[in-house]
């Protein structure tokens, strides 16, 4: 994924930065995992996987 795009993305819950991990973006604060579909990050709480 484009590094500049990654830098402007933030978790919609706590506005913390996210890091890329495989085909997911992981919030560095709450640990929610956001999917990337066709290269497009889906930064939606409803789509996120909650950490357990």
C-beta of 26: minimal distance to Zn ion in Å?
Answer: 9
Angle at 17 between CA 19 and CA 5, to 5 degrees: 70
Spatial strand order in the sheet of 33-37: 18-21, 24-27, 33-37, 40-41
Q: Report if residue 45 touches Zn ion, rule: CB under 5 A.
A: no
Smaller CB distance to Zn ion: residue 7 or 14? 14
One of 5, 7, 14, 47 touching Zn ion (CB under 5 A): 14
Q: Which residues bind Zn ion (CB under 5 A)?
A: 11, 13-14, 16, 27, 29-30
């Amino acid at each position: 994924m484009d590094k500049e795009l990654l830098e402007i993305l933030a978790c919609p819950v706590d506005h913390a930065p996210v890091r890329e991990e495989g085909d997911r973006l992981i919030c560095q604060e709450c640990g929610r995992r956001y999917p990337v579909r066709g290269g497009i990050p889906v930064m939606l709480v409803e789509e996120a996987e909650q950490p357990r």
